[in-house]
Structure 1
Amino acid sequence: MALAAPPDLSDPSVPVLPLARTYARGHFTEPHCHDWGQVLYAVSGVMWVETPREAIAVPPQRAVWLPPGVLHGIRVVSDLQMRNIYLRPALAATLDGQVRVLEVNGLLRELIVGLVAQDYDPLGAATGAEPDYYEALVGLALLELKRAQHRGASIPMPEHSDRRLRSLCQAVIDSPSLDISFEQHAEQVGASVRTLARLFQASMGVGFAQWRRQVQLATATAQLLQGLPVSRVAHALGYSPSSFSDMFRRERGMSPSAFVLETGR
């Protein structure tokens, strides 16, 4: 397990540390943790944030709140422009104590981007470089984070389970297409179909097909929110457009196009 090199928050005058990161598709940040809270927000692109218990698909209209000490890795699905906001433990304690998927409205988006754009320098701030403006940004951002709606569903991951099962789940998140069968996945992780099916049901409480459908829906939702056409999303998941629409309607209660309209895309 890798421990991320922490920013220097030793100066008590630094309430938050905003950082910008750019990652190419396929990048994977190894699991690590911090002793302060973290807001992960993608200005563009899609990522999966993975903790020991869950995996969360994150499109640009969502952010993930990670309380201090939560082990997490990041899997980049498409070229990603990320904005991170690290909160000192005292500030993080004022927010939710659980991992949350947050809806990012227009104001919160501008606050996150604005904090990163400030390129805050603690030494400069100490000498009076617009401290009132920066403190106002931080205060309003905290208020908006507290008010943000919880959106999106997480996908359960096998915690402390067989290595083969964890490898299977990560392979599905990487490639959730119907074109890759359970038998192919079993062969790739070095387990028999029967053994892997038994492990999956015992650890996850659902069958493989149902769990993969959850991953597909999370992937599809993120890609639709990113603005990808329904036909492209369907084909990438191994469906025809009509069969994908039928599946999406059964699970979400509306068609993909209605979902896109409802979310304002």
Structure 2
Amino acid sequence: MHIALGQLASGADVGANLQAIDRFAAQAASRGARLIAFPEYATYEKKMVDATFPTVAQPLDGQIGCELAKIAKRHEIALVSGFVESSPDPARAFNTLVAFGPDGALLAAYRKVHLFDAQGFEESRYVAPAPTTDPVTFCVDGVRFGLLTCYDLRFPEQAQSLSDAGSQVLLVCSSWVPGESKMAQWRTLLAARAIENSLYVAGSCQAPPVSVGHSLLADPMGGVVAELGVEVGLVTAEVCVDTVADVRKHFPTSVQRRIEWGRRTSPPT
């Protein structure tokens, strides 16, 4: 199965962002891709999350969500995109990934669990965390995809929960903030999650200057199958469920695992 990663330079112009998504979806479909993944905050992005994010938030079936569904249906391709979703708190939105099938039907919606309160950022000031930490997955053409958003990549237990839920490919839609060692961490963590769980990990990232670019696909052994640079662009690559099964046969870590990691409730004595 061929998938595509669309690397955007999204801004505050929702209409322009949707036009870029439409253009890349058309290109991906013409190259034979059955799914395209776009970055976190693909439909609305700024250098820092601020008070405007809740004001542009919409429900999943609002105008922006409906337009994303139309794009998927028009090009007959599954589409995953970052989306600013309204929440019960009018002062905070959800940082959501939406997945639409080639027929335009909503396949999944994942609200970011781990908010980026790091590097001087305070995403939680204007974004509400997901009300549940349950893994979110969906299927296209017999391949099961799991959803993560940016900072979630630093929490290996979350990727493991998606693997345990049957995922063969993790889609990590990101706006990875630049900084010291951040590029190396982005590439290393994508490969690590692939190796740990014996699956493909596809990182779709915003381009500079907001983010680091370098959207890439890592295979179940951690090798980089395809990668973009810092430019806005599109890359397609193949994922193979037989490869996932073969690697899991040789490294059956999921059945050998003896420890179920949980949050420590008190300091060790």
Larger radius of gyration: 1
Structure with the larger helix share: 1
Structure with the larger strand share: 2
Normalising by structure 1, report the TM-score.
0.28
Normalising by structure 2, report the TM-score.
0.28
